[in-house]
Amino acid sequence: MARRLYEQVRRLPIVSPHGHTDPAWFALDRPFSDPASLLIVPDHYVFRMLYSQGVPLEALGVPRRDGGAVELDSRAIWRLFAKHWHLFRGTPSRLWLTQTMVDVFGIDERLTIDSADRIHDHIAACLARPEFRPRALFERFDIEVLTTTDDPRDPLRHHQTIRQSGWKGRVTPGFRPDSVVDPEAAGFADRVAQLGEMTGERSDTWSGYLRALASRRRYFASLGATSTDHGHPTAQTFDLPRAECEALFAGALTGSLSPAEAERFRGQMLTEMARLSIEDGLVMQLHPGAWRNHNPRLFEAFGADKGADIPVPTNYVRALKPLLDRFGNDPRLTLIVFTLDESAYARELAPLAGHYPALRLGPAWWFFDSPDGMRRYREQVTETAGFYNTVGFNDDTRAFMSIPARHDMARRVDCAFLAERVAQHRLDEDEAGELAVDLAYNLVRRAYKL
Ligand SMILES: [Zn+2]
């Protein structure tokens, strides 16, 4: 039954509403340079595992902040990776990378120390061919739309180039304002000043700052953006009196906020962003609960996004209440919430999403973007939130080559889950077929207005 359901969805186009691919790839359409810098160097799932087993990041070609020496030879990096391939047994990385090697590059042997050079050279030869350029792969992967993640200060030149190029691939920007709403991020005041210069608004006043953000949101929307994304440390929201907002903003600019005040400011900004979403229609995503850069020594040497982000318990019921009190009943708002705290699925998130019209539940995310993680997600949320308060799958990836494998995994897991419900006479098979298509394709387009 699962196979029958899967046959109905396996060839549906990919809708990728949230991810971290580089728009320059599709604007410039240059060949990817080599196997290691495509598949190993940018993949934090890969190098965090190797690092945990004692492989230094320098040996994997991860650039150091001080410009110090790191391995640059693709073959040497690939060999080291092959030598440690067994570490990925039982992990989704093993499945994504295997499927990428087989389906994208047509490799028919297992990665071992002996096959490493052959596989490396085969991939390198593929990358030199026109059908492995970014746009050709985008078309081969049958991606209907792909959203990137972009800073509000980004002029979006690559997105403009893509739109003006006449290429029919649809790549849209995503508005990610963390760097200009988090007063604890170094350089906050400079970036806010930059926002003012870009928009002609007095961004050193609370109201001018909000107008500057609204203006950048409209600019993003003019280039196809349909959503915003907020990577806050917690899900905390606030709805504070104006005088307190102004005082917090002044303190944010001078860098004088206490950690608790910075949290109040970030929480207020989520509510402000929800208000702007109701005005401009951008769908809002909240990705809380990661303790970023948990390993200070690694952060010092290599910077952010190096596999050292660790989940922390996250509260939603109390934290979201100020925002929901104000906008939770407004059907013009779509707030899609994610979690790294699985204990919140059944206890908090499914009940919230199963009640508030503005709230939807994002898919199993990051550490739970895996067969078992997706299954636990469906098991814990479906009975309370149903399927239709969820929003389909998103790959959230920098690893472009793995996008088909990731979406395929989600489709397989969902079909298996649905088939089980049919076998238990809790769903009819035609309903399951309809659901399979909704989960793979319709829900995501609807939720993200794509
Ligand atoms: Zn993301």
Give the distance (Å) from ligand 1 centre to CA of residue 449.
Answer: 18
Q: 65 — phi, psi (to 5°)?
A: -65, -30
Cβ contact 3:431 at 8 Å: no
Give the distance (Å) from ligand 1 centre to CA of residue 18.
Answer: 6
Quick one: pLDDT at residue 236?
98
Give the distance (Å) from ligand 1 centre to CA of residue 118.
Answer: 34
Residues with CB under 5 A from ligand 1 (ion): 396
Quick one: pLDDT at residue 249?
98
Q: How far apart are CA 264 and CA 40, in angstroms?
A: 38
Quick one: pLDDT at residue 170?
98
pLDDT tens-place string over residues 206-242: 999 999 999 999 999 999 999 999 999 999 999 999 9
Give the distance (Å) from ligand 1 centre to CA of residue 409.
Answer: 18
Instruction: Provide mean pLDDT across the span 423-441.
Output: 98
Quick one: pLDDT at residue 147?
98
Quick one: pLDDT at residue 446?
98
Residue 65 banded pLDDT, cuts 50, 70, 90: very high
Give the distance (Å) from ligand 1 centre to CA of residue 243.
Answer: 33
pLDDT tens-place string over residues 278-332: 999 999 999 999 999 999 999 999 999 999 999 999 999 999 999 999 999 999 9
DSSP, collapsed to helix, strand or coil, labels residue 408 as: helix
Instruction: Provide mean pLDDT across the span 442-449.
Output: 98
With tokens 């071992």, the residue in question is 112
Instruction: Provide mean pLDDT across the span 157-184.
Output: 97
Give the distance (Å) from ligand 1 centre to CA of residue 19.
Answer: 5
Quick one: pLDDT at residue 348?
98
Give the distance (Å) from ligand 1 centre to CA of residue 394.
Answer: 9
Q: CA 89: distance to chain centroid?
A: 24
pLDDT tens-place string over residues 124-162: 999 999 999 999 999 999 999 999 999 999 999 999 999
Tell which residue, 108, 116, 49, 111, has the closest CA to residue 77. Answer: 116
Q: How far apart are CA 110 and CA 1, in angstroms?
A: 30
Give the distance (Å) from ligand 1 centre to CA of residue 193.
Answer: 26
pTM: 0.97
Quick one: pLDDT at residue 289?
96
pLDDT tens-place string over residues 388-423: 999 999 999 999 999 999 999 999 999 999 999 999
Quick one: pLDDT at residue 157?
98
Give the distance (Å) from ligand 1 centre to CA of residue 221.
Answer: 19
Give the distance (Å) from ligand 1 centre to CA of residue 287.
Answer: 8
Percent of the residues in the chain that have a pLDDT greater than 90, as a whole number = 100
Quick one: pLDDT at residue 403?
98
Give the distance (Å) from ligand 1 centre to CA of residue 104.
Answer: 23
Give the distance (Å) from ligand 1 centre to CA of residue 197.
Answer: 27
pLDDT tens-place string over residues 12-44: 999 999 999 999 999 999 999 999 999 999 999
DSSP, collapsed to helix, strand or coil, labels residue 329 as: coil
Quick one: pLDDT at residue 128?
97
Give the distance (Å) from ligand 1 centre to CA of residue 421.
Answer: 31
| CB neighbour list of residue 70: distance below 8 Å, 6 or more residues apart | 57, 58, 59, 60, 61, 62, 63, 64
Q: How far apart are CA 186 and CA 59, in angstroms?
A: 29
Quick one: pLDDT at residue 196?
98
